[in-house]
């Protein structure tokens, strides 16, 4: 059955360099107006996947299908996607406006339409006051925003972003988040990768985790946490510690794991409304004074850690 809301479908991509298979039957989809976050350790195949989607390289086998029957690699496909590379791709000795007008012409935009579009995009990335500034004089965060603006001039249906907030200050990071959310509000789709797992959790409608060239998990952040990381972490710090605390506690309740580091104890277990009561009672029975208790709910970072540490579990 054809999904009319589907913009991009990636099916069984395989790519090898010499004897190294970088992508191994990689499959996923992106819906219209969806933000898809991509997570994976270094060497997982993310950059190769992006290069194939950007038509910079071709897969050994597999298919990339785009809505409307648009064929990847064609001029129509390139007009349908916007690419935000990790490296800044701008001319330092040109102004923000000059850079964007030059890039706009490469997309075939001319005359008054180009001027209006450049002004619109500059406002969209909140750089109106820097319009006449040279790129070399901008901060790293501002350069990132101009880099993003350059990918949006031709109003692509899909924007592919490789580490869009790497190396920027906190305020610029928030500004880029706003740009990404605004793309979704306008009905455009976004695929982005980031090493900031909290960023992926905050922005994404869905997340895929790639390891060794294959998708090992996908779903909303909430779905992934619920499926792979149900355990809460109870972090206790004592003024002084006795190993008998762990022995007594495990006799009373079902604990997944306990990690002791000096006077700090981490207890991993499913949520229980009685756990704190058991903890306090057990400490009191051993005359141990608790300095601090912190409860950490599982999040997407725990899921990412799970797949990095547990191997190729699906």
Q: What is the pLDDT of residues 169-178, one digit of tens each?
A: 999 999 999 9
- The answer to whether position 311 is within a domain reads no
Q: Is 99 in contact with 135 (CB distance < 8 Å)? A: yes
Cβ atoms within 10 Å of 46's Cβ, excluding its own: 21
52 φ/ψ angles, rounded to the nearest 5 degrees? -70, -45
**Do 22 and 142 sit in the same domain of this protein?**
yes
Domain that holds residue 264: 231-297
Do 240 and 222 reside in the same domain of the chain? no
| CATH number assigned to the domain comprising residue 269 | 3.30.70.100
Q: How many domains does the chain have?
A: 2
CB atoms within 10 A of CB 298: 20
User: What does the pLDDT look like over 127-155, one tens digit per residue?
Assistant: 999 999 999 999 999 999 999 999 999 99
Would you say residue 179 has pLDDT above 90? yes
Give dist(CA 147, CA 143) in Å, integer: 6
Residue 1 lies in a domain: no
135 and 251 inside one domain: no
In a domain, 307, yes or no: no
Instruction: Calculate mean pLDDT across residues 61-65.
Output: 96
Residue 203: Cβ within 10 Å count: 21
Q: How far apart are CA 55 and CA 49, in angstroms?
A: 10
The DSSP 8-state label assigned to residue 119 in this structure reads H
Please determine, for residue 312, whether its predicted confidence score (pLDDT) is greater than 80: no
258 and 175 in a single domain? The answer is no
Regarding predicted confidence, which is higher, 274 or 41? Answer: 41
CA nearest to 66, candidates 48, 78, 56, 58: 78
Q: What is the pLDDT of residue 314?
A: 37
pLDDT of residue 271: 73
Q: Rounded mean pLDDT of 36-43?
A: 94
Same domain membership, residue 179 and residue 160: yes
pLDDT at 273: 67
Residues 26 and 160 in one domain: yes
Percent of the chain past pLDDT 70, that is, above it, reads 97
Answer whether residue 312 is part of any domain: no
Residue found under tokens 């909303």: 220
**CA 257 from chain center: how many Å?**
29
CATH number of domain containing 197: 3.40.50.300
Do 214 and 289 fall into the same domain?
Answer: no
Average of pLDDT values for 43-60? 94
User: Are 158 and 203 in a shared domain?
Assistant: yes
Query: Does one domain contain both 71 and 174?
Result: yes
């Amino acid at each position: 059955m054809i999904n009319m809301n589907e913009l991009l479908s990636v099916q069984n991509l395989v790519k090898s360099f010499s004897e190294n298979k970088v992508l191994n039957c990689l499959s996923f989809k992106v819906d219209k107006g969806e933000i898809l976050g991509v997570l994976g350790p270094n060497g997982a195949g993310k950059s190769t996947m992006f290069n194939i989607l950007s038509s910079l390289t071709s897969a050994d086998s597999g298919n990339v299908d785009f809505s409307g029957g648009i064929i990847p690699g064609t001029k129509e496909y390139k007009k349908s996607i916007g690419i935000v590379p990790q490296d800044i791709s701008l001319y330092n000795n040109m102004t923000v406006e000059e850079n964007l007008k030059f890039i706009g012409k490469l997309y075939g935009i001319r005359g008054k339409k180009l001027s209006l579009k450049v002004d619109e995009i500059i406002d969209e990335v909140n750089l109106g006051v820097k319009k006449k500034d040279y790129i070399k004089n901008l901060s790293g965060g501002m350069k990132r925003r101009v880099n993003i603006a350059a990918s949006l001039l031709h109003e692509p249906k899909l924007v592919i972003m490789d580490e869009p907030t790497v190396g920027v200050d906190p305020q610029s990071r928030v500004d880029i988040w706003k740009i990404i959310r605004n793309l979704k509000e306008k009905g455009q789709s976004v695929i982005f990768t980031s090493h900031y797992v909290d960023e992926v959790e905050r922005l994404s409608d869905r997340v895929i985790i790639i390891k060794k060239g294959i998708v090992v998990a996908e779903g909303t952040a909430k779905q992934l946490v619920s499926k792979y990381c149900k355990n809460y972490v109870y972090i206790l710090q004592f003024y002084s510690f006795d190993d008998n605390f762990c022995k007594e506690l495990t006799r009373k309740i079902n604990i997944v794991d306990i990690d002791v580091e000096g006077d700090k104890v981490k207890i991993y277990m499913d949520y229980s409304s009685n756990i704190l009561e058991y903890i306090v009672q057990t400490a009191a029975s051993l005359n141990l004074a608790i300095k601090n208790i912190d409860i950490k709910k599982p999040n997407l970072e725990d899921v990412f850690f799970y797949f990095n540490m547990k191997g190729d579990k699906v």
